[in-house]
Amino acid sequence: MKPTNRAVTVFVITVLTAFVFITLFKRKERPAQ
């Protein structure tokens, strides 16, 4: 079964969003040097 373009797009957006939240969280935990 081929994943639909919409499924791929949603997956990519979810991963990017999670990555951004993790990055922001790490920045809050560790102040910029």
What amino acid is encoded at 7 in this protein? A
Task: Quote the domain boundaries for residue 10.
Answer: 1-33
Give the model confidence (pLDDT) of 23-32 as tens digits.
999 887 776 6
Please tell me the predicted confidence (pLDDT) of residue 8.
95
CA dist., res. 30 & res. 3, Å (int): 38
Please tell me the predicted confidence (pLDDT) of residue 13.
98
Give the residue carrying structure tokens 């969003």. 17
What amino acid is encoded at 21 in this protein? F
The total domain count for the chain is 1
Q: What is the value of pTM for the model shown? A: 0.60
CA dist., res. 27 & res. 21, Å (int): 10
Written as six digits, the tokens of 29 are 């935990």
